[in-house]
Every structure is written in structure tokens, then in C-alpha cells.
Amino acid sequence: MNKLVIDGGMPMRGEITVQGAKNAVLPILAAAIISRGECVIHNCPRLRDVEKTSIVLTRLGCKLNRSEGTIYIDSTDINDCRIDEKLMREMRSSIIFLGAILSVFGKAEVGLPGGCPIGLRPIDLHIKALRQMGVRISEEHGYLNCECSHLVGADIHLDFPSVGATENIMLAAVKADGETVITNAAREPEIIDLANFLNKMGAQIRGAGSSIISIKGTERLHGAEYTVMPDRIVAQTYLIGAMMTDGELLLKGAEPSHMQAGLSVLTEMGGRIRRTQDGLHIKNNGKIRSINIIKTMPYPGFPTDAQSPFMALAAIAGGTSVFVENIFENRYRHVDELVRMGADIKVEGRSAVVRGVKKLYGANVETYELRGGAALILAAMAAEGRTQIAGIEFIDRGYEDIEGNLSRCGIKIHRVRF
């Protein structure tokens, strides 16, 4: 096992190039199997989830090669429609393979998904939609058994704009008979990225990024070359780090239009942010101010994935901030660890009241999920003394070489094995 050791109190100054987006690359890699040909995916970050996805692709029969940030996928000889329970349990996003495998084989057998313990992510929306498209689904011994003679287009209304369900429907619909229309679809930039990739493969998708997406089924797709979008949550994490340490950062490759809600909050809390030719530049505008209230919402609202890092920032702001978590019911697991470092946070149900303190202190803490782990790293950077963070395998699921990036920007951080 590994842990991160951080000596706080150093300003974060320098340049970081934003990695490819975890939440975009995983469905894009899954979509590559539908081509039954060769796909070249650029800007693929080195993450645990990408490694697990690559293992899934290999076991399905794909040939994979990686060179730096590019993954080459040849799905010509894909020959299996089953993903075992162990692999599925290691990634919540693994359910996205369901729609892709159904597009190829008309049947699928996949274990129920796992991942970070941040709360329930029911897949009933996925199942309901696929049944509308003609799929017969049963559950037995921890597996979903899915089968259909052929996928058919359908008018599908999502009770909640689920990103995963929207992506699964898109993947199933690209080769279905007729047209599929999704209403109340997720609008995240990652949805647009997947649609753009599928369209390069020959799919006919319109409306991605809006609440209504239409997909006309086509008989055959082909291989394509594509570059994954930058990771908007990682970008905001590094911006927060510069603010918390009274530093200055040039974030190369960041896309401001993907994170307007977060940038607005950072500005309100005292960040001086300007766009550059390369991306974004941030510098703390003096004292960090509290934010009245942050409510997590589906895109374009404030992202649930950014809630934890912003709470670390609020922990040292002047005044009181209120957070309301509307997406996941168990996304405050980082709070006890922040309190261990001196933060003043009270949680009641889905709300957290954060009273800013003058100083955080280094401590031995543990992370239990991806974004909460990022919050602990940020707190450690601003804290007085040394912090040791265990459980960093969760952080490795979504942040590529985080200690390397921070170290190059002046943060005293290193990884040790214990």
C-alpha cells in the first residue's frame, strides 16, 4: 500500500497541463468496441480506472497498445460478451460497457458495478431504458443477464438526467433499428465528447449537450481517431490548490466553458482568474472569502465531484460557508478527516456548515473515495506541519501523477510504500 506525505506551508507556483478527463475517456474506450475496427484515442490519462478499463477490453478480445498518452484499440476480433464480477466491482463506471456490448452482440452478461463508496448509484434508469429498446434483462448471482434479438429505437424519458444512463442509451442506440430520442438527458461536456467520438465513427447523434438527444441507428460503424477533452474536475482541484497556498498557477489546456459554475465560485471567494492563450491563470486576490451556499446540481449546475475540494477551500476562508449535496447521500466522508486537521465542519443530513479557521494542522488521515482524497491533499498543502494520507489508491483512480505535478509547482510531497 502507498501513502502521500505532504509538508504544508509552501506556495504552489508554476504550470500544469490538464490531463484528459477520466469521466470522458472511460465511455469513449467502451465505445471503441462497437467499431469492430481500429480506434486511436489521444490524451488518455494514466489512471487506475483506465488500466481496469483496458483489462476489460483485452478480456473481451480487443488488442490494445499504449504509447505515452495514446491508446490504440483494435476490436476486430472481439469475441466475448461477459465481464466478470471482480472487474465490475472495481469501477462504478464499468456499467457503461453494457450498452456497447449489446450493440455488438445483442447480449451481455456483466457483474453489478462497484467503485467509490459515496452513495447509491442505482442502475434502474439504465435497465428501464434498455428494456424499452427490446432488451430482456434478468439478475442472477450478482450478474445482469441481457439479451435481445435486435435493439430497437425508442422514446426514452429519464426521471433524472443521469450521465451513465444517457451514455449507455447512446451506446446501445447507435446501431439500433430506427431512431432513439432521450428527453431529460444529461448535459455534461463528457456527453458531448462521447457523441463527437461516436459521430466520427459514423454514428448519427444530434443534440448532445442539450436535454434532448436523438440517435438514428446505423448498420455499421468504423474506427476513428479522437482526442479526449481536458478534465474539468482535476483542473478545478489545481486552481483551488493555488488559492489555498497563496500561490500562482498557469493551468495549460483547461477549458473554461466546461466549469463556469466552479470558476464563478472561485472568483467570489477571492481568486483572480484570467484566460490565457494556453488556458487559465489564477492568483489569490488576498484573503479567501467564504461562499454563502453551494448546492450540487446536474450540469450546468455546480458539480458534485467538485464539492469536496471546494470544502477544503472553505475550511480556511473568512466566514461561514454552507454546502448542500443533492446528488449523492454519502459524499461527506472526508469531513471527519478535515476536522482531524483542525477544520470546523458540522454535517446534518445532506447539508454541511463550514466555519473557516485561521489555520489547519498536519495529521495522519485516510481517504475513502476519490474526490475526498483530493480535498485532503489540498488541506495538507495549506496546513502547518506534516500530513500523511493513506488510502491513496482512490486518488489514483482519477488524478494522473498528482504528486509529480504538485512537486514541480513547489509543493513538498512524496509517495511512500508501507
- Backbone phi and psi for residue 12, each to the nearest 5 degrees, phi listed first: -90, 110
Please report, for residues 50, 237, 322, 359, the alpha-carbon distance to residue 292 in angstroms, rounded to integers and kept in the order given: 37, 20, 6, 20
CB burial readout 356-395, b (16+ within 10 A) else e: bbeebbbbebbbbbbbbbbbbbbbbbbbeeebbbbbbebb
Rounded to 10 degrees, what is the CA torsion of 340, 120, 307, 54? Answer: 100
Question: What backbone torsions phi and psi does residue 384 show, to the nearest 5 degrees?
Answer: -90, 125
Cis amide linkage into residue 309, ω under 30° from 0: no
Q: Residue 128 contacts by C-beta under 8 Å, 6 or more apart in sequence?
A: none
DSSP letter assigned to residue 404: H
| Alpha carbon separation from 69 to 46, 356, 377 (Å, rounded) | 8, 40, 25
In contact, 311 and 375? CB cutoff 8 Å: yes
Cβ–Cβ under 8 Å, residues 402 and 368: no
Which residues are within 8 A (CB) of 264 and not within 5 positions of it... i.e. 6 or more apart?
none
**Main-chain dihedrals φ then ψ at residue 409, nearest 5 degrees:** -105, 15
Q: Is 146 an active-site residue?
A: no
Q: Which of 360, 349, 246 is nearest to 312 (CA)?
A: 360
Contact 93, 69 (CB under 8 A): no
CA angle 299, 302, 305 (to 5 degrees): 90
Task: Please give the Cα distance from 308 to 119 (Å, whole number).
Answer: 14
Which one of 62, 116, 148, 409 is the catalytic residue? 116
Dihedrals phi, psi of 279, to nearest 5 degrees = 165, -110
Residues taking part in catalysis: 116
